[in-house]
Amino acid sequence: VALPPPRILAFAGSLRKASLNRRLLRYAIDGARAAGGQVEELPPESLQLPLYNGDLEGNGSYPPDVETWRAKIREADGLLIASPEYNHGVSGVLKNAIDWASRPPSVFGGKVAASFGTTPGLFGTARSQMSLRLTLTPLGVWVVPKTVLVPNGAQAFDEAGHLTNPKLVDELAAVGRILVRALQAGLGRLEA
Ligand SMILES: Cc1cc2nc3c(=O)[nH]c(=O)nc-3n(C[C@H](O)[C@H](O)[C@H](O)COP(=O)(O)O)c2cc1C
């Protein structure tokens, strides 16, 4: 029997309209779809959540926007994450969204994730990718080793918002493809 296509949720850890990181998502999404993944890209508002506050929790129930975010993660098999870098770590927006989704019952167990990002500087989010792995791994998320770091992000796109370097386009597509293959290989089901 053929397994259903892996369901993948794609999002960026930036709320701003002109986010450079969100512009990278489409290339990874294309790669995931070409490999047979079923991808949903979340609008930025999905991560516009209240700051985590234990007083907003009541017996495993959460504010409505948080419940919606948690349900999206729960229903997905894989996560494609464009992670900006703020002060050598992940953005507060992304960390806050992860914190909400980690609350009981955590919706992260057995997910497989791939992440990548861009900064205007030379390091292309290298440090935030490390930080994101340190956060996701203890939550039971399998993070694929492949990533793409896009330096000089303010110069990396043309006026229409397309990445100008075809090698980076291919690399981002490879991230999406590897995520789908990891899911098809059953990585997230190893502990089930
Ligand atoms: C509070 C703050 C901290 C930042 N820290 C870093 C940093 O540590 N390293 C870096 O390369 N860029 C840093 N930047 C620049 C971001 O990489 C840049 O604003 C980027 O465009 C944000 O991602 P976005 O375009 O997807 O919103 C920082 C930006 C802000 C606002």
Condensed to tens digits (0 to 9), the pLDDT of residues 17-60 reads 999 999 999 999 999 999 999 999 999 999 999 999 999 999 88
What amino acid is encoded at 92 in this protein?
G
Cβ 90 under 6 angstroms from ligand 1: no
Probe target for ligand 1 pocket from 11, 15, 26, 85, with the most ligand atoms within 8 Å of CB: 85
φ, ψ at 175 (rounded to 5°): -60, -45
User: 135: left (phi > 0), else alpha (psi -120 to 50), else beta?
Assistant: alpha
In this prediction, residue 1 has a pLDDT band, given cuts at 50, 70 and 90, of low
Would you state the structure tokens that stand for residue 10, as one six-digit string? 């794609």
Helix (H) or strand (E) holding 170: helix 166-184
Residue 119 CB coordination number (10 Å): 22
Contact 113, 142 (CB under 8 A): yes
The atom number, within ligand 1, closest to the CA of 125 reads 11
Q: Tell me the average pLDDT across 158-174.
A: 97
> Of the candidates 1, 23, 3, which has an alpha carbon nearest to the alpha carbon of residue 12?
23
**Residue 38 pairs with which residues in a beta bridge?**
7
In this model, does residue 111 exceed pLDDT 90? Answer: yes
pLDDT of residue 60: 84
Model confidence pLDDT, tens digit, residues 47-104 = 999 999 999 999 889 999 999 999 999 999 999 999 999 999 999 999 999 999 999 9
88 CA to centre of ligand 1 in angstroms: 9
pLDDT of residue 93: 98
Q: Tell me the average pLDDT across 123-128.
A: 97
18 CA to centre of ligand 1 in angstroms: 13
pLDDT of residue 87: 98
State the DSSP string of 10-57: EEES--STT-HHHHHHHHHHHHHHHTT-EEEEPPGGGG--PPP-GGG-
CA dist 50 to 44, 136, 182, Å? 14, 21, 33
Residue position matching structure tokens 């990891």? 182
User: 56: left (phi > 0), else alpha (psi -120 to 50), else beta?
Assistant: alpha
Model confidence pLDDT, tens digit, residues 139-161 = 999 999 999 999 999 999 999 99
